[in-house]
């Protein structure tokens, strides 16, 4: 698809950033944040809020996020809104307008400065509508994004790098963004004026959360639902998980190809199911549970990323407004006997939830902890923790 926003035209005056797609197309703009270049898959996110949370969501590892909402930066950044240790997540972002000055009482700094501190590149002045249409029509492309204050770029070298990058299909990124050791999680959900509160009460069921690239707010919601939580690395063995005596096991979100991560994750999950340990999964964790039952996953054309995705709950036909971030999906046609589809996307009919009829195990493709709706999906944490007894 030819598009005037993407061409082989020479660099215009004042351009300090560029996006070089693997097909040779180039978009010029104004760089901000970190200086340098980064390679990844270009995707788009339609959410109107939460840009800092998006940029620190480990599920975005290996991706360059195009924000379709024009006013990025208006709430600034702060230390409480990061969703991961070490601010793992997207390698870069693309925006239409120059970053908006902060106008929020919680702001501790500008978005541009925050990107610079954390080694993430920003590119402004891009026709994000044209780029989004291109992704919708042709799929998510591989690309290199670059920022050079002097405006000097070696386009051929950047193009070579974009073409050499193998892409997300077949790539296991969970082990790269997962924690390296065990962590006893303590904080609950955030409250205005109080921050992240601590849990109260005794006799709380112990949940072991396997971190494939988790968002921290998932753990906070598990705590808020009444659990004590221990977070363990992605490659933790079945014996090590069972040694923690879990009342239930949570499977987190994460980046990359689920089939690649499944090489080490699926045997552990199968062991948990054989031991009749209750299991709850979100996003990549949903895909891991499906793979453990014998189902398959597929690469999506453009993926689902945003905070306004309608999902139908098949049990009672209730529609939940959900937050999503995934480029792979469970192929519902491959679900075996004993595994029922519980949720479907109203955008494209793709699978968004499963439950095992003979086991205490269920999962969803979307992100209930992101508070879309804003509370449409919080019942899932209560369902899991409340059933551990």
| Average pLDDT taken over every residue of the chain | 95
Predicted TM-score (pTM) of the model is 0.96
Q: Exactly one of 147, 326, 343, 367 is catalytic; which is it?
A: 367
- CATH code, 174-386: 3.40.50.880
pLDDT tens digits, 91-128: 999 999 999 899 999 999 999 999 999 999 999 999 99
Given pLDDT bands bounded at 50, 70 and 90, which one contains residue 1?
Answer: very low
pLDDT at 8: 64
pLDDT at 374 over 70: yes
pLDDT at 4 over 50: no
Is 283 catalytic? The answer is yes
Q: Exactly one of 83, 283, 304, 309 is catalytic; which is it?
A: 283
**Average pLDDT of the segment spanning 34-53:** 96
Q: What CATH number does domain 17-164 carry, 3.50.30.20, 3.40.190.10, 3.30.70.360, 3.30.1280.10?
A: 3.50.30.20
pLDDT at 201 over 80: no
In the chain, residues under CATH classification 3.40.50.880 are: 174-386
Q: Which of 3-17, 104-118, 135-149 has the lowest mean pLDDT?
A: 3-17
Given pLDDT bands bounded at 50, 70 and 90, which one contains residue 147?
Answer: very high
pLDDT at 3: 54
Is 320 catalytic? The answer is no
pLDDT at 200: 78
Is 85 catalytic? The answer is no
Query: Rounded to the nearest 5 degrees, what angle is found at the Cα of 329, between the Cα atoms of 323 and 332?
Result: 115
pLDDT tens digits, 283-329: 999 999 999 999 999 999 999 999 999 999 999 999 999 999 999 99
**Average pLDDT of the segment spanning 140-163:** 98
pLDDT at 7: 66
């Amino acid at each position: 698809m030819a598009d005037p926003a993407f061409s082989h035209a020479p660099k215009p005056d004042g351009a300090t950033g560029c996006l070089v797609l693997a097909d040779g197309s180039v978009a010029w703009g104004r760089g901000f944040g970190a200086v340098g270049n980064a390679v990844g898959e270009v995707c788009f996110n339609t959410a109107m809020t939460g840009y800092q949370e998006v940029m620190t969501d480990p599920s975005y590892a290996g991706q360059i996020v195009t924000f379709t909402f024009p006013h990025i930066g208006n709430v600034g950044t702060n230390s409480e809104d990061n969703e991961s240790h070490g601010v793992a997540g997207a390698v870069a972002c693309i925006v239409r307008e120059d970053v908006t000055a902060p106008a929020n009482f919680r702001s501790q700094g500008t978005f541009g400065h925050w990107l610079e501190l954390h080694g993430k590149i920003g590119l402004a002045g891009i026709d994000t509508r044209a780029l989004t249409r291109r992704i919708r029509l042709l799929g998510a492309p591989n690309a290199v994004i670059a920022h050079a204050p002097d405006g000097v770029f070696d386009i051929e070298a950047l193009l070579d790098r974009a073409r050499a990058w193998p892409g997300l299909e077949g790539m296991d990124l969970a082990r790269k963004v997962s924690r390296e050791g065990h962590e006893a999680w303590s904080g609950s959900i955030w409250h205005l004026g109080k921050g992240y509160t601590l849990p109260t009460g005794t006799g709380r069921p112990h949940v072991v959360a396997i971190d494939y690239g988790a968002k921290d707010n998932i753990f906070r919601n598990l705590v808020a639902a009444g659990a004590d939580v221990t977070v363990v690395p992605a490659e933790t063995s079945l014996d090590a998980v069972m040694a923690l005596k879990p009342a239930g096991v949570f499977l987190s979100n994460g980046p990359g190809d689920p089939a690649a991560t499944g090489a080490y994750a699926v045997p552990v999950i199968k062991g948990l199911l054989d031991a009749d340990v209750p299991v709850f999964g979100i996003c990549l964790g949903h895909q891991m549970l499906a793979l453990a039952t014998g189902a398959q996953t597929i690469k999506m054309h453009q993926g689902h990323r945003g905070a306004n995705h309608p999902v139908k709950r098949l049990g009672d036909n209730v529609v939940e407004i959900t937050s999503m971030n995934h480029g792979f999906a469970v192929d519902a046609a491959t679900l075996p006997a004993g595994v029922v589809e519980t949720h479907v996307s109203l955008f494209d009919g793709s699978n968004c939830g499963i439950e095992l009829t003979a086991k205490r195990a269920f999962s969803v493709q979307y992100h209930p902890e992101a508070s879309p709706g804003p509370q449409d999906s919080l019942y899932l944490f209560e369902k899991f923790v409340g059933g551990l007894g």
